[in-house]
Structure 1
């Protein structure tokens, strides 16, 4: 077992590094919250945060590699807290339990969940990074960026240019100046039949950037899931099963082809994705059972030995006894929160126990998956669905008929609200836990002190939790969250939160299309079988079931630019001569493109939040709209997206952004 070379003592947890980390974490959390509500995806932010950190600290007189590592560690909490929050907490508004996002409740769930994620992941560091190391691809890439940080200027310029492009396109679109639409779509009924042919793409540069970062494999899988929904399942339903739902058929008598397709998808077909995600989450746990058990055992054994004055700085974790004290202190407020919901100690105490056990288990799952496939591809939503299903099953036994009692302004079932509350804490913990291990991998490579990184991630996570409720309320007021309404026809879809709400309500008497969900389980099982066959053959191309399920569950137009971004990433790798075994070389070649993609995402997301402010203040969705009718606006929007894709490709094939 190799250990990192000793390095001279360097500044790490400095005041300026902590302040910069908090500022970046808050900005990136807001951006990822918008992206997650819009597209159901978030991205890891460690690499752009590292580049910005190097540039800012250079202006302040220069920073050490370990200071920059602390900044990217704290800042990366922005993506993980945002994911944990937007995948679950909007379900409480969607179900009608809250009229808006309650500040102290959101802070308690997100802040305490994030801190539990840090605590639960500490015992896993030695087993997953030191003794039996996993790849942690994004951690390795972040370490390479930190080591090549003598000249951060070109990287800062790439982020600035791409951020401006993403912001300008968002400002020009439907929620801003309304010069171009958000989507390009074409649809028609085939002949005299009532079968829809539908194609389309969202015109978002951010989604193109997401596709570039996640790569072609994931892009193909999510698009295939969407094709299954929109080009196979919807036409089949229209042709053979419309008579099984007379009310739906009657509502579509005079509907356009596009409206008919979206209505059938929303009422029936997307639940295939729910079933696929359910079986995917269960399969993930089952397939990792032995590895996780061994990893947890060795992690605790190592943590018990990780004390004493002779231990090197690069091996010092947070002390176990203080972790246990903190665990109790963080758990008690959550117990009080659960008691406020159900009003029965015999229920709130088991809820808390479920939260602790599921939290530690799923932090382990999240850390393991982040080590294998990276944080951006980590199926936290599948983990959360498994939690909500298990919690709901237990709550059905504990609450009985009282679980159906309506609570909140909209009369959501008590049991469903309780299950979402458990799932929200676990989701935040799992997202932060996987991210923590990714950061600790980068720190291990550059010679950082683990406990300082763990402390910084906790600070970053809690700082992000402080701003999540205001950001969510701003977005909900300006754009709407969940199903489109007359007031908000282009509402942010919040796909995972909608999914969590549907599952929780369905377990407590809600009306769900269980036949479709059952078919989705069968589809998911078939996808798992194909993926296992590919795995046995040693194929590089894989079919992760949760990625396919997301494609089935989301509109086709969102998946197309993700696929196109993945195609651009593949073209950069394929045609820019790179040794496929030279992993550091691949990281260096991809770095300009990754930075450009991250800038597109951040710029568009921050502009989306900025646009929301005048909309909320004026109470007018069209407050920024120009009184100009742009001819062929859809096609101009398509040309704009093509230009952004060309620019992304040209940036991706450039020389590395660092001259070191």
Structure 2
């Protein structure tokens, strides 16, 4: 995932903020000692919300390559659920709401740590499908490594270096507001539930009854460069989830994605057909355009990570902290952390050796790259709120391509080790920052995050296999852009330029340069809003054109609302979340009904 979700980064990352961070990073609740925190109802509500988030992330990730951390959404839903339960019990405290959102975020991030969005489908595209038990163990092991690293580095990053982690700050502010102002919850909840129901109804009519098409494409009579618009997938999708993604992502990401799609399908694709380098077929054109998309992603990744080299001295300190017992830890948790490291690594080793094609030495090498790259990812997240999860995974793939050329499965598995752990590192630090500002105990959040891993894989892994069995990979329903990216990088680093489509290597090299330049220029504040996001542009090359159009429409909608009626912005953003939840949850339910034989696919 995830780049920042607001920049549609992917793979994997990351997640859009529904609130602007407050100007101050001072703790919101400095005297929480008498407030309840670790309660059964907080854990149960968080687990339930996390299950919805995990299902959403599997479905949305396979469709668009984007997944949602869910910090703000989980806080909103947790407050609502806990408020109902507190009517007949003890009063609700902000720390309970925070613990519930911490649990939910950990559960929801397991599809990314288990590789269900990228690595696992990429291996399946190469003809290797790891068994479900191995994928679950893989997700728990890598997720636990990410949680451990976040917990062990929190003091340095959150307190000593005082990195902002804006989404964590926004989450703490939202929780504080919800507990102090009743109308704040009502306005958001109303928009979320209304849009969720409408989204579910439209999804039912589309996927279960076939009354509504998946997209309204321009007719074949409309031609660009001699290619029919239907072959280029030009049109608008009847997918509320895509509108919701656009609403949360914002205009910068939406317009960047549309720009990439317009250049690809409105310019490059007709040129390919005109010059005879590709046929007027969506599948063949998509296979060609994949390579400049990879170039954009890798170019942005390389320069983004190079800019983090100045963090290396502090990074070494984080790695040394893994074996240290720091003052201030609760003794039981401190001992538990130390004892958990070796079993977690062994769990990863077992699953990786048996199912993912990694030998013990190869897995140890990947784990050796995990901690420094997780530190780089954590600092980038803290400073910019952008989690370069896919970037560190791609860098690992490039490194393994040089060490073990010709082994595509190994290459993908090694990249998944780093990106899987990094996904939970960033998500955990957002939650830990929110807890720190609210006065929560980090040790309790740590235990909630670890407990969420087991429940997360129990929900996410079956969801993945049901969706794949019903719709298939690389289908119109599941285009799996992140998996195609993993596969493409593996093929490139394993086989070199041999076998690439005509002229695609040159296009990839040019896109690599463009991605690097955009990343460097975008790091300057005055250029950041003016230049497009390389990651979002790359996704525009990976997904059908009508995906990009629909997401961009959602982003322009929220931009217009923000300008014309700022007071309605937060309810509209909640409606975007509801649109995502409504389609994804019902879409997965329909897939389960079809797979079980209780429903026939729409004719």
Return the TM-score normalized by structure 2.
Answer: 0.86
What is the deviation of 1:329?
0.9
1:97 alignment partner, one of 109, 128, 131: 128
Distance 2:223 2:554 in 1: 34
The alpha carbon displacement at 1:11 in A equals 1.7
1:182 paired with 2:214, answer yes
Counterparts of 1:188 and 1:171 in 2: how far apart (Å)? Answer: 28
Q: Within the alignment, does 1:463 sit opposite 2:455 as a pair? A: yes
Moved more, 39-48 or 63-72: 39-48
Aligned counterpart in structure 1 of residue 585 of structure 2, from 606, 610, 630? 606
> d(CA) in 1 for partners of 2:507 and 2:309?
26
| Counterpart position of 1:340 | 354
Q: Is 1:238 aligned to 2:273, yes or no?
A: yes
Deviation at 1:551, TM superposition (A): 1.7
Residue 301 of structure 1: CA displacement?
Answer: 7.6
How far off its partner does 1:188 sit?
Answer: 4.1
Residue in 1 that maps onto 2:508: 520
Aligned equivalent of 1:424:
416
SS of the residue corresponding to residue 539 of structure 1 reads helix
Q: Secondary structure at the match of 2:218?
A: strand
Equivalents in 2 of 1:303, 1:354: separation in Å? 17
How far did residue 8 of structure 1 move?
A: 3.2
**Counterpart for residue 404 of structure 2:** 395
Closer, same or farther in 2 for the Cα pair 1:577/1:424, shift >3 Å? closer
1:66 shift after superposition: 0.4
Q: 2:163 aligns with which of 120, 131, 134?
A: 134
Structure 2 residue 147 is the aligned partner of structure 1 residue 112: no
1:53-102: CA deviation from partner (whole Å, max 9, x where unpaired): 1122222224210011000011012432223321221112221112xx62
What SS does the aligned partner of 1:538 have? Answer: helix
- Equivalent runs, 1:492-503 vs 2, <5 Å: 492-503=478-489
Are positions 1:283 and 2:303 aligned together?
yes
Match 2:471 to one of 479, 482, 485: 479
> Does the 8 Å CA contact 2:302/2:516 hold for their aligned counterparts?
no
- 8 Å CA contact 1:331, 1:352 repeated in 2: no
Matched, 1:323 2:337: yes
How far is 1:23 from its partner?
2.0
CA–CA distance in structure 1, aligned partners of residues 25 and 596 of structure 2: 58
What are the superposed Cα offsets for residues 491-528 of structure 1, whole Å, 9 maximum, x if unpaired?
41111112212332444448443842442232232243
Q: Quote how far apart the aligned CAs of 1:9 are.
A: 2.7
In the alignment, the residues of structure 2 paired with residue 192 and residue 275 of structure 1 have an alpha-carbon distance, to the nearest angstrom, of 25
Aligned 8 A contact 1:370 1:435 in 2: no
Instruction: Write the distance in 2 (CA, Å) between the matches of 1:184 and 1:138.
Output: 36
Aligned residue in 2 for 1:532: 520
C-alpha RMSD of matched pairs (Å): 2.9
* Distance change in 2, residues 1:494/1:124 (3 Å): same
CA distance in 2, matches of 1:555, 1:381: 21
- On the 8 A contact 2:257/2:539 being kept in 1, the answer is yes
Q: Is this contact kept in 2: 1:126–1:299, CA < 8 A?
A: no
Query: Are residues 1:36 and 2:61 paired?
Result: yes
SS of equivalent to 1:465: helix
Q: How far apart are the structure 2 equivalents of 1:378 and 1:550?
A: 16
What SS is found at the alignment partner of 2:109? helix
Identify unmatched segments of 5+ residues in structure 2: 1-23
**Partner of 1:555 in structure 2?**
544
Q: Equivalences for 1:576-655 in 2 at 5 Å?
A: 576=565, 590-618=569-597, 622-623=601-602
Distance 1:532 1:355, change over 3 A: closer
Question: Aligned partners of 1:288 and 1:318: how far apart in 2?
Answer: 35
CA–CA distance in 1 between the matches of 2:160 and 2:337? Answer: 22
Against the structure 1 CA distance between its residues 91 and 110, is the aligned structure 2 distance closer, same or farther, given a 3 Å change threshold? Answer: same
Task: Say if 1:28 and 1:79, in contact at 8 Å, map to a contact too.
Answer: yes
Matched, 1:383 2:392: yes
CA apart distance, 1:178: 0.9
Alignment of 1:21-420 (within 5 A): 21-61=46-86, 62-84=91-113, 85-98=116-129, 102-150=131-179, 151=182, 152-173=185-206, 175-188=207-220, 194-197=226-229, 199-240=234-275, 242=276, 244=277, 249=279, 260-291=280-311, 293-297=312-316, 299=318, 307-308=326-327, 311=328, 322-340=336-354, 348-374=359-385, 378-396=387-405, 415-420=407-412
Note if contact 1:10-1:64 (Cα within 8 Å) is conserved in structure 2: yes
Q: What's the offset of the Cα at 1:110?
A: 0.8
Task: Indicate the SS of the match to 1:12.
Answer: coil
Which structure: larger Rg? 1
| Secondary structure of the corresponding residue to residue 60 of structure 1 | helix
Alignment CA distance shift 1:279-1:568 (3 Å): same
Distance in 1 between residues matched to 2:71 and 2:110, nearest whole Å: 13
Give distance in 2, aligned partners of 1:236 and 1:271. Answer: 16
Count of matched residue pairs: 562
Following superposition, the deviation at residue 560 of structure 1 comes to 1.3
Deviations along 1:536-572, whole A, 9 cap, x unmatched? 4723504332222122222211111221222122223
